[in-house]
Every structure is written in C-alpha cells, then in structure tokens.
Structure 1
C-alpha cells in the first residue's frame, strides 16, 4: 500500500473488528516497509476516523511517539483510545510527561491503568518530578507510587493531602497510612478535629483490602471518641463478622447486619448480640438456619427468651430448625399458650412440629373443616410435619390424594408445601401416589396459573433423584398447561438433567410450533436460559421464529435468546436476516448486533427515512436507523451520512420534541459529524431546540463546539450554556479551563456564580488570582456566596482567611453566615484556630435565626474543639438566647468540651448560673440527653462537678438525677442516688422524672450498665430508689421485647417488696405465661 488512500480503500467495507486486525498487521509491517510507514504517518494527520486507524496500527508497530501525541488530541475518542495504548507501550519518560500535561480525568485514567499493570516506575518518576517542582498534584499521585518514594516525600505530601488522598494512601500503603495516623493521634499536641477527616479517609481505604487493619484502627480511635460510619461497619461485618460484633454493638445507630454474615458467627457472639441488641437480628431470622445444628440448639437453650416475642412465642422458622426433642416440646408449649387459644391458624402452624402421630391427631379434624383457610393450613402443616418423619410419607400422600376435589386455594397451599418438601425424602414407592395427586390437579377445572407453576416446581425438584419420571411428568404439565411456570428453571437443573428432559419436551414444542404458539416457545426458552445449549430442538424452533415470525416481539425475543446462548449461530443468522428482510433492523437484537459486529451491513440503510418494507413494515412508516452509540466503530463516510440525516430530522419545524432531543443527543456522539449544522440550531428561534443544540455542542467529541459556546456566553443564551459547558470544562486541563473561563462575561448572576465556583475548583494560583480579582466588584449575594465557596479550596493561604474575616464582619448576614459551612477536614491546627475566630465573629452579629444556623452546623460536625473564648460565648447564649439557641449552644458545649480544660470550668460556671431558671436548665438537660450517646467516655467526668452542685439543692435534684442517669458510671450513679436519698432530697419529683426518662436511659446506656444500676438500686433500703429500679426493669423489658427468666424473677421480687409504692405497680405488670423451660437433655435427631 503506497498511500493512506489505499489503506482507507482496503478497510472501508470491513466491519470494525476486521479493520482493527488489518491495521495491526499493517503496523507490524511498517517497521520493514517504508511505504506502509509513510501511509500510516499520513493517516496520523487526517480526520478523527483516520487517526483512530493509525492508533490501531500502533498495537503492531509499538509507535509510542504517535501515542504520546494522541494523548493531547482534541478528540475525546482519539484520546480514549490513546489512553488505553499508553499504559501498554509508552516508555516511563514519555508517561511521566504525559501524566504531567494530562487533564485531571485523563490523568486518573492513566494512573489507574498503570497501577493495574504494575508499572510503578513510571508513577515514581512522575511523583519525583511533582515533588521537585512543588506541584500540589503530588497529593493525588504519591499514594500510587512505590513504598520508597512514598517514604521519601511523605512529609511534603502530608501537608497537601485531603481525606480523599489519605483514603488512597491506605488502599495502596496500608501500613504507612495507619502508622502515620496512630502517631498523629498519640501526639501530645494532636488536634482531633483535623484528624477526624483523616481517620475517615484511612478507614474507608482499609475496609475492602485490609479489614483487619480497619478493625484495629476502629478500636484504637475509639479512645478518642472517633466513631466509624455505619456503612463501614456493615461492610466490615460481611468481611470479618466475628471481630466486628463489638464495634457494631457499641454504635448507637447500627442497623441490621447481613444475615449471611450472622450465620458465620460463633454462638458466643450471637449470644452477645441477643443479650445487648436483640433488635439487630430479630427482624430477619434467616441467619438461624445457616448455623450448624448443634449451634442452633445451644443458642436456643441459652437465649430462648431473647429469640421470642413479647408473648414468649418463638417464630416457626426457629422451631423448625431445632432438634426433635426441643422441637416437640416447643410445639406443645405453643399449643397451650392462652395467647394462641383463639388463633386456630397459628395453632395449626405450630402443630407441624409435633411428633407425627400426635400431630396428625391434632390436624385430622381440620383436614375436612368447612373453612378453606383452615383446611389449607392443616395440609401444609401435615406436609411439613412429614418432612421430619418421612416414614409416614405414604400416609400423608394418601391424605393429600383424598383432597383431590378441594378448591384451588387449598390445592395451591398443598403444592406450596410440597415444593418446600425435601426431595430426598421420596422413594420409588411414593411416585405413584404423587403422580395421582398431580393428575387430579391437572384435571381440576379451576386450576390457576400459580398452582400449575407450584406443581411444576414440585416435579422439577425431583429431577435429580428420579430423572425419567420427573422429566415425563414435567413434559406432561408443560404440554397441558402451555407454559413452564418456573422462572428460574435454568438454576434448578444442570445440563445433564436438561438432556434427560429434552426428549420428553421435544414432542411438546414440536406440537406448539405446528400450532404457531410462538409465545409459548419463547417463554419456555426464557425459562430454560442457558440450558438451551443442550436442547437443539427448541433452538431450531427459535431460529425459525426469529427468521419467519411476523410478530416483532416474538422475533426479537427469540433473536435475543439465540444471541445470548447460541452466539455462533446468531453471528451467522443475523446477517442473513438483514440481507433477506431489512425490516429486521427494527428488532433490537439485530440492530445492536450489527452496530457491534457488522457495521458494514448498516451502510445501505443509513439514509433511509422510511422503515424498509418487510415482515415488520409496509415501507411507509417514518423511521431513522435506531442506533444511539458506538459510532466510533463506523467509517468516516458512515458517520457523515448518518449525521446529515440526524441534522435534517432535528431541523424539521414540526418535529416532536423527543425526536429532536434524540437526534441531537446522537449527533454529539458522532466524532465525524459537522458541527456547523448544530451551531445553526443553537441560534434557531425554537428555545427547546436551541437549548438541546447548546448541550450537544458542550458534549461534542472535540473542541469544535467551543467557539459557538463562547459566543453563547455573550448573549441571552448564557444561562443555558454555562450549565451545559460544566462537564467539558471539568475534562480540560487547569490552564485551558481557566483560559476559557476568562473569556466568559460575568454580567449575568447565573453565569458569574458558576464561573467563579468552577475557577476555585481548579486549585491553582492563577485561579485564585482570578477569583480574588472579581471579589471586590461582586455585589450580588449569590455571586459572593459562590466566591466564598470557591475560596474553600485555598484555606492554606493567609490572605484568604483575611478576606473571609472581612466578609464575616462587613457582608450582609445571608452572605456572611455561609462562612460557617467551611469544611474542617482539610484544616490544620492554625486553620482551625482561624475558623474559631470566624465563628466568634458570626455569633456576635445577626439575629437568632442566623445564629441557629451556625450552632446547628457546629453541633452536627463529627469533631470540634471548643476553646475558652468560644465557650464563654456559647455559655452566654445558654443564658440569654432563645430556646433553640440555648439547646444548640448547650449541645455544642456538652459534646465538644474536654474534661479538665478551660472550657470545662466555663461550662460549670454557666450551669451554676442557670440553676435558678427551670426553662434554661431544661434546655441543658435536653442537650445532655442528645450528647450522652455521642460521648460515652468523657461526658460523665465533665458533668460530675455540675451534678454535685445541682444535687445540693432539693428543688434541682430531679435535674441532676436525669443528667447522672445518662452520663455517670453505674457505681458512681448508685452512690449519688444513695447520698441524695440519705439527705432526704430523693423525693417523688425525682422518681417521676426518672420514670419518664427510663426509656432514654436504657437506650443510651449499655445493657450491662443498666442492669448493674438496677441491681444496686433494688437492694437499697430507700423506697424511692427501689421504685426507680422497677422503672428500669420495665424499660429494659420493653427494649428487649419480652420477660426472660431473669427479668421475670426480678419482677416477682418487686411484687414481694414490703413497700406498697413498689409492690403495687409491680403487681399490675402483666406477665405472659411462662413457657416450659428448655432442658439441656441430649439432642434428638432433626
């Protein structure tokens, strides 16, 4: 081949895959054939399609110079192909240069590819260059470098890194990341608020690859009141269920963990969960059946009450998984419960767990009951009971056969139970009776589709054990019902079983084909799925449907099934279908196949505006080829022809809006489309079409749409264009993006705020200068807020803090109070101090509504440090502010004040000053209730001096008691209560206050602590303390869901209390009947 024209002529009529193979071979020949090399060089300067062909040749030629140049190509299609090639063939030096110049999105793609291929040397060189040039991108790149390079530049990196970068470091260098975090937390001058974001980033990076390190970090950081996110704990529980139990139970917001992971726990961990947080596992008991039989029995024996509901009833799901001796005892216990005396349906369900003879005697009256629901329940229980004692299966089948004339709902319940019956329990002797039951169901005139599907499931479960019988029966049911009613049939059988079933189904499908029941055949094929590979008779019928059917849905579904399960056949069939009947292009499976594998077949139909005449069209229907993506696989001519058709469609004045939108969206995806036509549409009078055209220009494959977008920014189209161009700007390099933003006029508020926000996100010195240059002239509040948020990316610059302070002091409140939203994760200690100064300035101005916003933001931060200056301002708000301010200010103080600090003394003085005002004191108590579960380690020590002061006043003891209940250790709490009782301060008002808050008390404190307090108070000689102990017992029972043996015994002891104030309330706590206590007798068989 002498020229690029020769190459283009050779590949023009080939499908994409063959074009690529030809170009790769030409690339291999280029090294020894100068003419081919010259032709490929000519292609490198051609259109997008030609440049892509030249890149394909690089797989053979290994021409890294052209690949390197293509990384800066204007076309996203060319760049995407070059990115894939670069990680394979570019040398390290070239990769270093490419990474340095690449936009952020392309740089991440390159780094991901290099990491996957293990090319750390190239990443190391790039990281070294960034470190030499003091480039801020080092924060993003260094975590992917080798360990030696990471250690060399870690100090510089730490000053630049955000939590996201720490996450990356933990992912690739777990030991380094955790070591640095441990050292930072243990340092004497550690600033915990600045480390909390790092902790979250490291934890997120460790979860998937290093779960054990993540668990160690959670345990260590817990000493600093760092709480892991719930979703992290849930993921860790799936990976390491046993060691994750403790942190999961300690998290107050923890949700139900994975049932599959629960089934992998030891009995000790399950007992701990059931004892402390039973609500986590009782909503879904499927985990119970995953346990070994011995573990199920042990858990039942030790935690029977924790598994039961408030009426001491166990779920049938649990009873059914117990060994025989426990199963029988629980069945008898439940049948004797008064709460079930009036619920016959529930009694029938529990009767399934009795010994067979005893259970049959119980069920027999209901088998012929006049109530159909009771008959159905009795039949289901009979079948389930027989599963435990299969020796009685013959009698059970005889009973079922006797009910052959029952109505369909009863029959449906019967087959639902049989579908769950273990197939291994059947013997050859049972098949005759089962066949009679099936025959009777098929003969019933009222049989429903649901019942027939369940019937087929019963037969399908027997295929592995009795292949010949089950195959014959299944074929009979399919033939008589006209459908295979098992949606997941392909998962229920394997290829060998399908081969046994095939000969029986073959006559059925042949009959259906003769009667043109295409829908039945398609549904059967969908249900069989991958088993079509060994059912050639049905495959041939699907081929006939795809090629001959006049029903578009049937032909399309048949073709899709063939493509998925018989790809070789479909690759041969689809081109023949297009050749014989072009209207087949209306089938989704055909057009997608042609677009992916045989683009050459589309050429004759690119300009068609009417659907080709054939099976699915009369030739008069308006139509455009239904292809929406993958245009990069087309030739240049194909792209240009189809683009002209789409432009014509979008230009029609009477065309409906969805059609115009679809045409313009497709145009933006065609690399060789002519941008001039879309530029014209961007200037049309139709506002809908104009907006879509502007959006298409912003998504254009290359930069050809940028000039028109720049013009759009100059007129009334700017408010639409600025949002359309956001995605393209994010794909640019920082200098190019800033250069474009400089050309945009900022007269419109909508445009100005987006431009300034985008400029700030570039994080370069030039971008900061651009933002600051417009700050002085910006007057609109939305624009100024956008400037503030863009400056959050530059909080390491002192000049930015000076500007923020000026904004806080001088700007209107609606602008100034936005400063309170500054993210703390990227602040160092000095930045945090400056932030505290801004908060102080904000709290000194504005009204309560603005201050409430600031206080809410502070309260909801994961970690924060209250300085003495800020503590004094918050204490003043606790005294002078309105009610919401008081609560929020107290919440911030209680959550973030460190014991022994200067702020702690200020808090104690503030409470002493508030003690005379009940309303303000109540706000403090509400704040403490909110903060208590968030600071379980330190809040007690912080409040102890306050409690002693409040407890000295009889009229304030009830407030002190509530605070103490939430925050003090059990032994200290009991001592405080006893001291107040001895002093005569523990009156009825204290008992009432604690009774009202007992539920919160139990929710906040761990169960063992609550039980310890109850035990101590119940032994007190003071009646009010024993009354509080009774309230605690009732609250614990409400949280656990029932009275177990221990709680029942404690309640009975309260009923015997000599004080009527204790005994009378205890007597009116209604206890459900006590079930027969499970013994530890030897386990029976399951």
Structure 2
C-alpha cells in the first residue's frame, strides 16, 4: 500500500509517528523505506514532499533536508526549516544558513535555531556573514558587537540586548561618556528598558551618565528607572539621591518622582528609608493602598516611617499613619492639623475620599466640621450629608434626621445611603444600620437602591454571620417590592457574591432567589483569588446550586457560575458535570458552545473524552466552535464525514440546508485529500451569487489557508466579475502556496485590480530568491503610479544588486512625483554606491520641494560615517531651499534625527535659521539647536540669540522657547545659554519682563529678591514688570522663603509681591496654616493700599460658628 494511502485515515500525530518510523527504517538500511521516501521527495505533489520532510526526523538525512530547504513550495520550505533545526549537525546548519534563498528564509531559520538553543553553528555562520546581515549581530559572539552596534536598527539592538545585555550596556556607557550624540539617544530609546531588565547592575552606570548629561528621569528614562529599582533598589535609590542633591531646587519628590517605591521600600535600610520619607514620601502610595507597602515593613521600619511623617511630613500625604500614633500625642495633633490645612480646597472642604484612612476619632471630628462649620456646605445639603457616614450611628442618625424624613425622594436617598455606610467605619454598628434600613421597607425604589448600593460597598469585615438574618430581611423586603428595578437587584446580587466565601450556603440560597427575579446573574468575582482548598470547601454549596439550576434549566446561571470559577473549575466536579449535561442536552449553540469552551479551557482532560462521544451521538455537534477546533487540531480522523458536503441534521441543525463548517485552526495538520475536499466546499460556497460579502470574505480567507488546495479553484475565482470577489481573491493570492499565484498577480497588475495585486505580490516576493524577484518585477506594467511605486521599492529591497542596476537605469526625468519618492526609498539599501548619492542630489534640485524634503526620511541610524557626512551636506542644502514648507518640515525633524553631524553642518544650518522670517520656523529651529548643541557650542548659540535682540518679534519667540527648556533637568549647555542671556539683557531697562522670566528659572530665592530690589531702586517695577514678577514668583519652588524675604521690604511693590508669594505658598496641597493666616493679617494691616487692598480680598477657608445648643 502506498505510504500516503496508509497514513490517510490516521490522526496527524499518528501520521507523523508512522513517517518517523519510516525514516528510522531507512536509516537502518531498509531499501524499501529509502525508495518510499525518495518517491515522496520527488513527487510533484507538495503534500507528499511535506511527508518526506516529516520522515527526516527519523532518517536524520541531511541531504534531503537541504534539498527541501530550496523547494518551490512555501509549506515544504517551512517544514524543512523546522526539521533543519533538529536534524542537521553543526556543519550542515552552517551550509543551510549560507544557502538560504531569501532574507526572510534566513531570518526564519535563525529564529528556529535560537529557539532550539543551537547557537554554536549560528555563531560560526555569523562570523563570516555579519557584513551582509549586521542586524543578526545579537546572535553572534559578544566580541563583535563594537564593530556593528552603531549601525543597528531598533530591532537589531533589541535582539542584541536580549543576548548580550551586559556588553551592550558597557558599550553605550562608553559612547555616552565620550559624546552623547543624537544617534546614541535614538538607539537608547529602543534598548534601554531591555538593558535594565536583563543587566541592571551594568545599566546603572549608563543611566548615571545619562542623568549627568541632563536627561530628565521622568521622560523616556522612567520605564528603565522602574525596572532598575525593582532589581537594584539600593543602587537606584543612591543614584536618585545623588541626582536630587546635585540639581537646582525643585518641588518634592524631585527625581524620585520617576519611580514608585511601594514594592521595594522594605528593602531599604533605616537611613535611606528615613531620607525617602522626608524628601520623597509621595513616591509611596497613600490612602487605602498604603497598607500594602506599610505592613510589609518590620516594626522598626514602621517606626522610622511614622517618626519621619510626624517630624518632616508635608502636604496631605500620610493621613493613614495617624492610626498608628497614640491619640494623646501632641505630634499627632500637629500632623493632623497639617493634613487638614493641606487637604482643604479654597472653601475649606476636604473630599470625603481623603478622610477614609483617618482614625475613627479624627474622621468623626472632620465630619462634624463639615456638617456644622464649613460655610460653603451650608447651602449644599446633598454634599454635606455624605460626611455623616463618618459619625457613630446614633449621632449620624440624629444629624440626618431632617433629611431621612425629607419629602423629596432624592434627598432621602442620599441621607439613607450615608446612614447605611456608617458600618464601613464602625463595623459594630452593622446591626443597627440594617435595622434602620429594614424600617424603610416601603420606600420607593430609588431610595432602596441607594441603601442597597451602600451595603454592597461595605468592607467584608462589617458582615458577620450573626447579622445575615437581618440582611436577609432587608433583601426580602426588596424582592417583595413591586417596583424593584434591575439595578437594585444587581446590588443585592453583588452583596451575595461578595459574601459567598463568608457563608456559602446562605449566599447560594439568595443567589437562587435572585435568579427567580432577575434571570441570569451578572456580577463577576464570585470566587476571585480562590485557593484550591477554598474551592473544595465551597464545593457542597456549589453542588446545591448546580443541582437546582440544572433541574430548572437555568443554563445562563450555570455558565456564569462556571466562568466565576475560571481556572478552579476542574476542582468542582459538580460544576463540571453540570456543564457536561448542558453540552449534551441543550439544543442551542449559544448555550452548548460556551459550556464546551469552558470545559476545553479549564477541564481539558474531560473535554477530550466528551467531544468524540458528542459527535458519535449527534453529528451536528461539529458546528460548536470548541468541537470543530478540537477535531481540526487533534482528531483529524473524525474529519471525513464533514467534508463530503452532506446535509447535517441533529440537535443544532435542521437538515434543510447544506453547511460548510468553518475550521479556523489546525489546517496544516490535515492531509491533502482532506484539504482538497474542504477547498471544494469553500469554492462552491463563494461561487454562489447570493452569498453576502462577509461570508465571501470568510470563505476566500479560509481557502487561502489550505496549502494543498488545487490552484484550479483560484483560477476560476479570478474570473468572478463581482467587485467584492475581485478584490478579495486578488488580496488572498498573496497567501496562496502555488507557483501559479505570482503569475496570476502579474496578470492582475494590468487591470483595475492592480492596486491590490501589487501589495499581495510583496508577500510572495519576500520569500523568493533575488534573481526570481527581479524577473517577476520586470514583467509588471509601470503605467500606473501605485504599481510603479511598489515595483521600485520591491526592486530596491528584495532584488539585490541586479535590482539596483534596474533602478539606476530608469528614466528619472519622466517619473511621477510619488514614484520619485519611492525611488529614493528603494535606494536606502544601496547607499554604498556612488550612483545612489547622484540620485539624491537630483532630488535635492527637484523643483518640487516635497521630493527634496523626503531626503530627511533616509534611515540615518544605520549609516556609516562617510554616508552620514554626505547626507548631512544634502540636508543642509534642503534648509537653503526657498520654500518655507521644505525648511519647516526638515527643522521639525532635525532635533531628533539620529545624525552624529561630526562636521556640525546641520547644526550650523539650524543655528542660522534662528533668524528666519517666519516665527514657526524660528521656533522649530530653536528646538533643533538646543537639542543638538554640544557643550562647547553654547557661546555660539548665545551670540546668535543676542544678534537678534533688536528684532523684537523674533527675540520674543526665542526667549519664550529658551525659558521653556530651562527646567531643573536642563543640560549644561542650555543652562549656559540661559545664564549668559540673562547677564546680557539684565542691564537693559526695556527687557525687564524678559529678565525676570529667566531669573525665575535660573536664580535662587535670594538672588531673585536681590534682582527685584535692584529693579525697585531703579524705578523699573512698572506695570509690565510687576506682571512678570508675579509670574516669576509663580515658578518658585519655595514660595514661602520668597515671601519671608519680601515681607518687610520698604517698597510696597515688593511687599505686594510677597503677598503673591504667600498666596502661592498657601494654595491647596499646602494650605492656610495658622502661621500663614497670621502673616496674611499683617498684609491686611499694611499702610499702603497696594498691599492691603488686595490682602483684604484674599480669603482663606473660613469656619462657621456653631449654633449654641439650647
């Protein structure tokens, strides 16, 4: 019997096993086996050749594998590549790599070798081939990295970072230390997170160099800093600390703000922990999430945190720590007052969420203040009522008495929700709260909904087994109401779901009752985070639910319950049995399908036993996605009955129409006969003129996935005149594995299908040898722009040297603009040839500026030094073109072009454009200059800006752009330009506002006050100067220090600026402390109306006097 006939009825796994045994027999000298394999390998049928490849796993025949690697069929080649990674010895692997027909084939084989960890032969090959394939240097030996790393693309760098992270980190550190040029920055953007992940210790010195160069840690370094912190917390902390202490003053947490310390704070020693709490506490989570990191600390560490918070805390951070401080402590009271002042908004209100982590007594204290003493809430009862939830139950009930009996339902709803929320703070009040809720059994649904919403949001600690009867009463009252809404019943359901682990039988009973009202449950999270032991403990309650819901055919509820268990489903046998019952009995695809899918994902062993039995009893089960996928991927022996085109009848099919089953996986494991049968069904389906477009799309796509389908189907489909089919078939031909597919696509290039055919042709050409690529491209018509563009690009990318000669031989003068641009793109891979640069020079002189501007798209990151110099010269000439659009396009990209610019041609051109006639052009030129400037070029930039001072419009644009770049992380040369400009314009009386704007970001508080004093003495604090001074104060890091220096000035204008600093110091998150209120009173008493007038219209949050109790 023929080998193909013998393996045809078998499953794929058994089929491959038979072929491997055949190969072993051939290896043992069996002449018949050798002849059979040779017959398979020489067959014109590509399926038989695939079987020959499978036999290589047993025969270990390197000659046959090498032969199949050059096969014309994509399916054969890819199977041969997988076999090569396993079968070939090291010498044969090197030969196979060197003979790879295309770059795609080479990359695929390399990936398979890496996957199999066969690096020795790969490195032998790369030692000789890296000049042609430098992108693969990541797989080579680490000692060759320095030669190629500068020209690598981001993908190549990422590959190298995964293989040789330590060596790559050291290389980049050396480059940054010598010259942090734009190319290095561009490459680090792609690779730094991987270096931090795989070689944290080696990456830290590199990051330190970057920070010393003025790189802001919150910018593109933040992801890498977070990775470094997780792996090297102490060293990363020290690096951020050193940076903070070396920078100009900035608001806390400063550089530490680039990372979060929650997951590593317990690894810090005492001194570092105290420093973090004092200077960067905001890098630790506050509020309810703070418990996660705080409880991981040792007792001694907790004391350090609490002490640091009490002594050095600022703002509203750390309120949760007050729980750990004795109530009688004076430090606690002082810290609480600090928190309260900082947390208040302009009218004295603290958002309720900020109070939830306070100790009980302080919660109640703040609740009383908001209810009785905040004037802004006096006329807003809906906002005020919510604070009553922080009071003890009886006090809250008394405070809300007038609202719980209010005639308006919405007001009662807000009040009762607050009352029901009290147990969140006082769990012992749960019984009383439920009693009050139960007393409202006849409330309208909106009020009931608000109460049940509050109960569903309470923490689990508020629910004890003892209160469950009272909770049942509340729930029953709701179910008895005729106006029960779906939202209200959802809140009941959510509460039951959350209490399932507290009392599973009680929750199961109520879930069944709710099911009778609502139908299908909708709350998720029934068993979130369940351990195996907990799952087993809940099994009896779950079994009760399963029995009841199965008996009553509540299949939606059963599916919900199964989804809730997720990965723990197999540990609940009753639920597995229930799903089997649903899959075996329910006549609905929408029910049986999800049930089987849950079994497939979470109880796979039971599913593998179940689905063949389902098919044996009812062939229509094949329409269920889980069954069809399982048959297609693992039980190919069950396929034949469903590939005959017969009408299926059963539970899921009426038998009135013929179905074509969609198999979306495992098609590569089918035999050729099975694929041919399925292809016939699909072809007949898509030929039906009454089929809708989505069905046609699925059918054509499925047909393209069948590697062994006869090409006659595609020939017939290509003649279909329906417009959707013409597009669908043309696009799909790029995925068809047949030698006739390229010819069909070339034919389509001559008609209206060309726009789809040319892109489909790319997929085919990528896997062909270079000589075949050019032979096919020469047959393509060039009359259409879309086709011509892609032909040129494909010739440049895939056709090698012959393709380059083809490009150079074109009549460039007659080309369309888009085709000219495509030609420039096609030459990117041939920049080592002088003729490419001649074409670029022609583009530079092209009358159309768009063509010339596209020179900026050349991938400069991979250029050699000489090529980069030549490109820089061309780009500098683009900036000399008369069209402002061309100049602006290049200037906008110049700042971050990864060009080293060794001769500084591009920099000098950008510098010259600071005086451009258009302000947009000036802005982009300045950004490029400041980004590309070297440390020794700061004087040139300063001189150029100073030359333009008299051109006031241009100078204002330059000044605004420079000030924006002078943040705390500004680089040394940018700072030098800013300081130099300030020194030059400070004496100029007409540039006082500009001087103040620079001084605000460059001078300390004392220096800024000294400048203001000199301006006062020179009578230069005029209207515009005062506005600029107020804006400068707005940038101050420590406005309180500024205010102290200006408070007692002789000039009332300076005192008025001091008042502005006080307002800034007291804004929300800092707050009006007792001391600041006293200072404000001093300003209100100032003898000059300029100061006193404004001070009397500054309104700190006020407190309302309490009404005297009768």
Q: TM-score range by the shorter chain?
A: 0.7 to 0.9
Q: What pairs with 1:856-1005 in structure 2 (closer than 5 Å)?
A: 856-859=892-895, 861=897, 877-879=913-915, 881-898=917-934, 900-901=936-937, 904-905=939-940, 907-933=941-967, 935-967=970-1002, 973-995=1008-1030, 1001=1035
| CA 470–960 in structure 1, closer or farther in 2 if over 3 Å, else same | closer
Moved more, 736-745 or 259-268: 259-268
Is residue 889 of structure 2 the alignment partner of residue 853 of structure 1? yes
Is residue 37 of structure 2 the alignment partner of residue 45 of structure 1? no
**Alignment partners' CA distance in 2, 1:154 and 1:484:** 59
For normalisation by structure 1, the TM-score amounts to 0.86
* Aligned residue among 627, 630, 652 for 2:663: 627
How far apart are residue 214 of structure 1 and its match?
4.4
Q: Is the Cα contact below 8 Å between 2:629 and 2:666 reproduced in 1?
A: no
Is residue 612 of structure 2 the alignment partner of residue 575 of structure 1? yes
Matched position secondary structure for 1:176:
helix
Moved more, 527-536 or 630-639: 527-536
Q: What pairs with 1:335-346 in structure 2 (closer than 5 Å)?
A: 335=371, 336-346=373-383
Is residue 135 of structure 2 the alignment partner of residue 140 of structure 1? yes
Is residue 610 of structure 2 the alignment partner of residue 615 of structure 1? no
How far apart are residue 198 of structure 1 and its match?
2.8
- 2:528 corresponds to: 491
Q: Is the Cα contact below 8 Å between 1:194 and 1:829 reproduced in 2?
A: no
- 2:166 corresponds to: 175
How far apart are residue 751 of structure 1 and its match?
1.7
* Aligned residue among 555, 558, 567 for 2:592: 555
Please list the CA deviations of residues 871-910 of structure 1 after superposition, one character each: whole Å capped at 9, or x if unmatched: 7755664445133233333443444444542x733x4444
Q: What pairs with 1:396-415 in structure 2 (closer than 5 Å)?
A: 396-415=433-452
- 1:1084 corresponds to: none
Q: Is the Cα contact below 8 Å between 2:1000 and 2:1032 reproduced in 1?
A: no
* Aligned residue among 227, 237, 250 for 2:226: 237
Please list the CA deviations of residues 273-311 of structure 1 after superposition, one character each: whole Å capped at 9, or x if unmatched: 998998x999x9664453427669762347665555555
| CA 329–963 in structure 1, closer or farther in 2 if over 3 Å, else same | same
Is residue 458 of structure 2 the alignment partner of residue 421 of structure 1? yes
- 2:628 corresponds to: 591
How far apart are residue 222 of structure 1 and its match?
2.6
- 1:1083 corresponds to: none
Q: Is the Cα contact below 8 Å between 2:742 and 2:764 reproduced in 1?
A: no
Q: Is the Cα contact below 8 Å between 1:136 and 1:160 reproduced in 2?
A: no
- 1:334 corresponds to: 370
Gaps (5+ residues) in structure 1?
A: 1077-1086
- 2:69 corresponds to: 71
Matched position secondary structure for 1:710:
helix
Aligned length: 1051
**Alignment partners' CA distance in 1, 2:1026 and 2:462:** 62
| CA 957–874 in structure 1, closer or farther in 2 if over 3 Å, else same | farther
| CA 405–731 in structure 1, closer or farther in 2 if over 3 Å, else same | farther
- 1:218 corresponds to: 207
Q: What pairs with 1:350-361 in structure 2 (closer than 5 Å)?
A: 350-361=387-398
- 2:6 corresponds to: 10
Q: Is the Cα contact below 8 Å between 1:376 and 1:410 reproduced in 2?
A: yes
- 1:448 corresponds to: 485
Q: Is the Cα contact below 8 Å between 1:753 and 1:783 reproduced in 2?
A: yes
**Alignment partners' CA distance in 2, 1:660 and 1:1044:** 73
Moved more, 356-365 or 935-944: 356-365
| CA 24–437 in structure 1, closer or farther in 2 if over 3 Å, else same | farther
Q: Is the Cα contact below 8 Å between 2:170 and 2:206 reproduced in 1?
A: no
How far apart are residue 196 of structure 1 and its match?
1.8
| CA 311–263 in structure 1, closer or farther in 2 if over 3 Å, else same | farther
Moved more, 960-969 or 552-561: 960-969
Please list the CA deviations of residues 617-657 of structure 1 after superposition, one character each: whole Å capped at 9, or x if unmatched: 33233532222443212111111122123223333445433
Q: Is the Cα contact below 8 Å between 1:957 and 1:990 reproduced in 2?
A: yes
Moved more, 1039-1048 or 357-366: 1039-1048
Please list the CA deviations of residues 531-563 of structure 1 after superposition, one character each: whole Å capped at 9, or x if unmatched: 553555554454344333333322323333333
Is residue 679 of structure 2 the alignment partner of residue 643 of structure 1? yes
How far apart are residue 396 of structure 1 and its match?
3.1
* Aligned residue among 198, 201, 205 for 1:209: 198
**Alignment partners' CA distance in 1, 2:771 and 2:1071:** 67
Please list the CA deviations of residues 231-277 of structure 1 after superposition, one character each: whole Å capped at 9, or x if unmatched: 66246437736648789999999999789769989899999899899
| CA 712–121 in structure 1, closer or farther in 2 if over 3 Å, else same | same
Q: Is the Cα contact below 8 Å between 1:682 and 1:691 reproduced in 2?
A: no
**Alignment partners' CA distance in 2, 1:326 and 1:632:** 68
Q: Is the Cα contact below 8 Å between 1:778 and 1:784 reproduced in 2?
A: no
**Alignment partners' CA distance in 2, 1:1018 and 1:790:** 69
For normalisation by structure 2, the TM-score amounts to 0.84
Matched position secondary structure for 1:14:
coil
Q: Is the Cα contact below 8 Å between 2:218 and 2:257 reproduced in 1?
A: no
- 2:642 corresponds to: 605
**Alignment partners' CA distance in 2, 1:170 and 1:219:** 19
- 1:1068 corresponds to: 1097
**Alignment partners' CA distance in 2, 1:172 and 1:410:** 63
Matched position secondary structure for 2:450:
helix
Q: Is the Cα contact below 8 Å between 2:11 and 2:635 reproduced in 1?
A: yes
Q: Is the Cα contact below 8 Å between 1:170 and 1:206 reproduced in 2?
A: yes
Q: Is the Cα contact below 8 Å between 1:24 and 1:58 reproduced in 2?
A: yes
Gaps (5+ residues) in structure 2?
A: 245-250, 296-301, 311-317, 320-334, 1106-1110
How far apart are residue 1073 of structure 1 and its match?
3.7
Q: Is the Cα contact below 8 Å between 2:771 and 2:799 reproduced in 1?
A: no
Q: Is the Cα contact below 8 Å between 1:196 and 1:226 reproduced in 2?
A: no
| CA 868–936 in structure 1, closer or farther in 2 if over 3 Å, else same | closer
Q: Is the Cα contact below 8 Å between 1:194 and 1:828 reproduced in 2?
A: no
**Alignment partners' CA distance in 2, 1:726 and 1:264:** 55
Q: Is the Cα contact below 8 Å between 2:933 and 2:973 reproduced in 1?
A: no
| CA 39–384 in structure 1, closer or farther in 2 if over 3 Å, else same | same
